[in-house]
Amino acid sequence: MVSKSSSAPPSARTAVFSQISASGRVEQVVQRLTDAIVLGVLVPGERLPSESQLAKRFGVALVTAREGLSILRENGLIETRRGREGGSFVTPPHTRHGAVLRARLAGLSRVDLQDMGLYLSVITAAAAAHAADRILDSDIDNLRRLVGPELPESGQAVGRAEGAFHIQLAVLSQSARLVRDQIRLQAEFGPLLWYASDITIAGGPGGGAAAHSAEPNTATATCSNYQLSVVDALTARDPRGSRTAVEYHFSNHLAQLLEAKAAVDRGDPLEN
């Protein structure tokens, strides 16, 4: 039971609580849950499974799950409430997500970021191309409704909307592996992409003004235009056009991310 329900696709929530690698380290538990919270798969006010339930779902020792939750509490991502309706609950974001993601950026090399960005771009573009060969008219109608005019305006919410769109592309490719990889990489890498595109970097290249616009309407329009271009290519049953639209979009995302990484390494102040 949860105190609030998430609008994230069921497949994304399933991936959050799927078993982690055989080593079952505490940091893996922390990373999995942190990414899910920052990405918005687990929403503020939501109650997490109990320690024993988490241990069973992740396939880790009880003490590993317990220590992981303890670290999340120390990081301000969850809070523990006592009593009959108690448990571990996701806290409101405030500014903690930015701090977590800045630390993530600082800990990853440019090579790591480029590699992850390339992988996510490749599997998303492949899903779009394969979907173009398999998509039905009813699928296109559903996608157009997903890309409707009422996209959310916050950067994180826009990121979740785009994530849902990419998961749907993977589903339409009819490849279970592409779906699994898309969900996993979104949880691992998606928050960093959207953080980089939603922040303002003071003193950008050349000492100029903000490098990225933090205006939510800009992020919304960019997301909407991109998704519509993909849907138009799918409607035309154009695999190459679908692939190209995705690759171009991710190349822009990655450029923003690498610029944010450079700013973090320089010690420039970042604002979300």
Give me Rg for the CA atoms of the chain: 19
CATH number for 30: 1.10.10.10
The number of domains in the chain is 2
User: Residue with structure tokens 């409607």?
Assistant: 235
d(CA 54, CA 47): 12
What is the predicted pLDDT for the residue at 1?
A: 40
Q: In terms of domains, do 79 and 132 share one?
A: no
Closest CA to 242 of 232, 257, 252: 232
On whether residue 3 sits in a domain, the answer given is: no
What is the predicted pLDDT for the residue at 151?
A: 55
Using CA of residue 107, residue 110, residue 111, residue 115, what is the dihedral sign?
A: positive
d(CA 61, CA 54): 9
On whether residue 57 sits in a domain, the answer given is: yes
Q: In terms of domains, do 118 and 45 share one?
A: no
Q: In terms of domains, do 38 and 162 share one?
A: no
Is pLDDT at 205 greater than 80 in this prediction? no
pTM exceeds 0.75, yes or no:
no
pLDDT digits (tens, 9 = 90+) for 31-54: 889 878 876 778 889 999 999 999
pLDDT confidence tier of residue 167, bands split at 50, 70 and 90: confident
Contacts of 239-245 with CB under 8 Å at 24 or more apart are: 239/128, 239/129, 239/130, 239/132, 239/133, 240/129, 241/132, 242/125, 242/128, 242/129, 242/131, 242/132, 243/125, 243/126, 243/128, 243/129, 245/128
- Measured in degrees and rounded to the nearest 5, phi and psi for residue 152 equal -65, 160
**Residue ranges making up the domain that contains 267:** 109-271
On whether residue 85 sits in a domain, the answer given is: yes
pLDDT confidence tier of residue 209, bands split at 50, 70 and 90: very low
Q: In terms of domains, do 121 and 90 share one?
A: no
* Paired strand residues for 6: none
Mean pLDDT of 259-272: 81
Q: In terms of domains, do 203 and 113 share one?
A: yes
Q: In terms of domains, do 211 and 259 share one?
A: yes
On whether residue 4 sits in a domain, the answer given is: no
On whether residue 78 sits in a domain, the answer given is: yes
Mean pLDDT of 85-96: 80
Q: In terms of domains, do 67 and 126 share one?
A: no
Q: In terms of domains, do 90 and 135 share one?
A: no
What is the predicted pLDDT for the residue at 115?
A: 94
Give the rounded distance of the alpha carbon of 128 from its chain centre.
18
On whether residue 2 sits in a domain, the answer given is: no
Mean pLDDT of 88-105: 78
Higher per-residue pLDDT: 216 or 74: 74
Is pLDDT at 156 greater than 60 in this prediction? yes
Mean pLDDT across the chain: 81
CATH number for 134: 1.20.120.530
**In the chain, % of residues over pLDDT 90:** 41
